[in-house]
Amino acid sequence: MEALVEAKQVKQHFTVKVKGRKLLLKAVDGVSLSIYKGETFGLVGESGCGKSTFGKALLRLYALTAGRVLFHSADISALKGAALKAFRREAQMIFQDPSSCLNPRRRIEDILTEPYAIHRRFTPVEQKRKAAELCDMVGLSKTHLSRYPHEMSGGQKQRVGIARALALNPQLIVCDEPLSALDVSIQAQVINLLEDLQREFSLTYLFISHNLCVVKHCCQRVGVMYLGRVVELAQADELYERPLHPYTRALISAIPSAEGRAGDGQRREILTGDVPSPLSPPPGCSFHTRCPAVTEICRREQPPFTEVSPAHFVGCHLYHS
């Protein structure tokens, strides 16, 4: 399959002040993966593991600390000015909270015509016509164009966010937990909408979520992040049926079933302790402080991230001894 986006050892570090001291926060610490054209790639993990930061780094919303991002095999890591603006037409984002990502002082029509104005597409009359087409595309009526965001429900606002992301006909859309702020009854509608739009416009999604049930349903491949690193990556069916990394096994065992048992009939695995701070990550394997299968080498050395079976990658010393 053709890789649309390739991340090569991407690092995104931030300098933060804690009690007057400058510390380095390693939000993303060496992630390498490819997203194939036309697929939905899922990225899962606990809150604070670096999923959203990685998605924003792919879109160059941050200046990368290290590593490279390739889009259609072209390096976009150092793009500036007009070249970066041109790339933004090809890659867009659906944000997590639809209420905070829409300007409360602007009507929906103004929000949807803004991408055309920024990139100098179409006349003002054509921009309004395009905004109406976008509304129809995502299941909103033209009457919504005259409303302000606070006059709409959460599901309607998320549809506006989706419409805005589609305005410039991008190839890649980063969906940053697009369902977490919505009622369960609305989540299914948004998932179906995203899948319909993907088929119609040949879109490629990076789907960031902590809802493993949703990811299993709509993603072809899944990567599992922990403390800034991807610890396992595989086809969705393979990952859910045969998780290898102890962290992945714990996540999947926590998925509730209709009978109240752990996910996929697995024994429930309870992790002890909290996720370490990215300000002071532990040496060796970042998961060793919570791992039930920890060994001495885990405390000393970071395990390599290698392919242990066809298209199934894992970073764990249990599979590299």
Residue 264: pLDDT above 60? no
Query: Which 8-state DSSP code applies to residue 122?
Result: S
pLDDT classification of 185: cutoffs 50, 70, 90:
confident
Check residue 181 and give its pLDDT: 77
Model pTM score: 0.93
Q: Report the alpha-carbon distance of residue 21 to residue 222 in Å, rounded.
A: 37
CATH of the domain spanning 3-90+170-319: 3.40.50.300
pLDDT classification of 274: cutoffs 50, 70, 90:
confident
Check residue 266 and give its pLDDT: 60
- Tens of pLDDT, residue by residue over 202-221, are 999 999 998 899 999 999 99
Strand 21-36 to strand 3-18: parallel, antiparallel, or no bridges (unpaired)? Answer: antiparallel
Question: Which residue intervals of the chain bear CATH 3.40.50.300?
Answer: 3-90+170-319
CA 120 → CA 60, 86, 103, 168, distances in Å? 21, 12, 20, 11
Residue 77: pLDDT above 70? yes
Check residue 80 and give its pLDDT: 93
What's the token pair of residue 134? 């976008």
Q: Residue 166: phi, psi to the nearest 5?
A: -85, -10
Q: Report the alpha-carbon distance of residue 10 to residue 174 in Å, rounded.
A: 16
Mean pLDDT of the chain: 92
Residue 19: pLDDT above 90? no
User: In 117-194, which ranges are E strands?
Assistant: 172-176
Check residue 321 and give its pLDDT: 58
Check residue 265 and give its pLDDT: 52
Lowest pLDDT segment from 240-254, 257-271, 287-301 = 257-271
Residue 131: pLDDT above 60? yes
Check residue 164 and give its pLDDT: 96
Q: Which amino acid is it at 192?
A: N
pLDDT classification of 182: cutoffs 50, 70, 90:
confident
Residue 259: pLDDT above 80? no
Q: Report the alpha-carbon distance of residue 319 to residue 232 in Å, rounded.
A: 12
Find how far residue 156's CA is from the centre of its chain: 21
